[in-house]
């Protein structure tokens, strides 16, 4: 549209069309975000948090090929939630406490090693704790996470779809002074963490995802 071979009138016509198209797209995106975070005041029900409908899952990576190893935590508590017609307001000020001894990879022997040679090699990490610091308008948020006597901010992605809320992100354990714990677990799982190249490796990055189904309660 910017090339001089086009007449000024044609350029103006195309520019106007592009602006209208962009405006419609931006309006649709705005409406979509609004529908997820700004429910109608005439809603006939409230949302509340239900711990039994929540899952906390993680994915670690071993070998230089970065082979995924998945697991979850069976026991955790959540406080600071609210009853609201807005799902976002239910969870935007919550705090959590995860029992690290409840780690579950569906292999008991591996679970014992993770607790003994990883979590117990860190300081005061019987529990991982934290809170939601902020939930932005474009699916980006921030947690405060405490582990190994270190508290740091952790960026997250979040999505609210109807009565379902999902969080996801990646923890770099080095930022929580967890490098020695990573080395300890890798040393005790040396063969299991060895790839086809003969190198044993456990990566310091751990991905996680949390999902919860909010409970609907009709207004009376």
Domain check: are 166 and 98 in the same one?
yes
pLDDT tens across 111-150, in order? 999 999 999 999 999 999 999 999 998 999 999 999 999 9
Whole-prediction pTM: 0.80
Question: Quick one: 135 and 178 in the same domain?
Answer: yes
Closest CA to 177 of 125, 104, 116: 125
**One domain for residues 19 and 113:** no
Average pLDDT over residues 45-49: 95
Is the same domain home to 173 and 207? yes
> Residues 87, 164: one domain?
yes
Evaluate if residue 154 carries a pLDDT over 60: yes
193 shares its domain with 212: yes
Indicate if 107 and 72 belong to the same structural domain: yes
CB atoms within 10 A of CB 27: 10
pLDDT at residue 149, as a whole number: 98
* Rounded CA separation 152/77 (Å): 20
Residue 29 forms part of a structural domain:
yes
Report the candidate in 127, 124, 122, 125 with the shortest Cα–Cα distance to residue 56: 127
The answer to whether residue 42 is domain-embedded is no
Q: What is the DSSP letter of 65?
A: T
Based on the structure, what is the number of domains in the chain?
Answer: 2
Residue 146 lies in a domain: yes
Give the pLDDT band (50/70/90) at residue 42: low
Reply yes or no on whether the pLDDT at 27 is more than 60.
Answer: no
CATH code of the domain containing 194 = 2.40.128.110
Task: Provide the token pair at 138.
Answer: 């474009």
pLDDT tens digit sequence for 155-167: 999 999 999 999 9
CA 25 – CA 9 distance, rounded (Å): 24
pLDDT tier at 14, thresholds 50, 70, 90? very low
What's the domain range around 32? Answer: 1-37
pLDDT at 2 over 80: no
pLDDT surpassing 90 at residue 20: no
pLDDT tens, residue by residue, 76-109: 999 999 999 999 999 999 999 999 999 999 999 9
Separation between Cα atoms, residue 203 and residue 198, nearest integer Å = 16
User: Would the pLDDT of 41 be above 70?
Assistant: no
Q: Are residues 157 and 185 in the same domain?
A: yes
Q: How many residues does the chain have?
A: 220
Residue 179 within any structural domain of the chain: yes
Task: Say if residue 69 is in the same domain as residue 174.
Answer: yes
């Amino acid at each position: 549209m910017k090339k001089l071979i086009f007449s000024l009138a044609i350029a103006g016509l195309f520019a106007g069309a592009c602006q209208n198209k962009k405006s419609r797209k931006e309006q649709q995106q705005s409406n979509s975000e609004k529908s997820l975070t700004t429910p109608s005041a005439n809603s006939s029900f409230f949302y509340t948090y239900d711990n039994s409908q929540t899952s906390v899952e993680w994915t670690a990576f071993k070998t230089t090929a970065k082979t995924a190893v998945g697991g979850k935590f069976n026991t955790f508590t959540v406080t600071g939630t609210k009853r609201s017609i807005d799902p976002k307001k239910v969870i935007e000020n919550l705090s959590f406490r995860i029992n690290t001894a409840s780690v579950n990879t569906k292999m008991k022997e591996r679970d014992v090693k993770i607790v003994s040679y990883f979590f117990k090699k860190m300081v005061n990490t019987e529990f991982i704790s934290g809170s939601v610091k902020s939930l932005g308008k474009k699916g980006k948020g921030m947690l405060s996470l405490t582990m190994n006597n270190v508290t740091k901010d952790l960026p997250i992605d979040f999505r609210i779809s109807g009565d379902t809320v999902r969080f996801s992100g990646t923890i770099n354990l080095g930022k929580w002074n967890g490098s020695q714990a990573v080395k300890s677990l890798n040393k005790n799982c040396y063969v299991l963490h060895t790839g086809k190249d003969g190198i044993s490796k456990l990566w310091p990055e751990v991905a996680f995802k949390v999902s919860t189904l909010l409970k609907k309660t009709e207004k009376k």
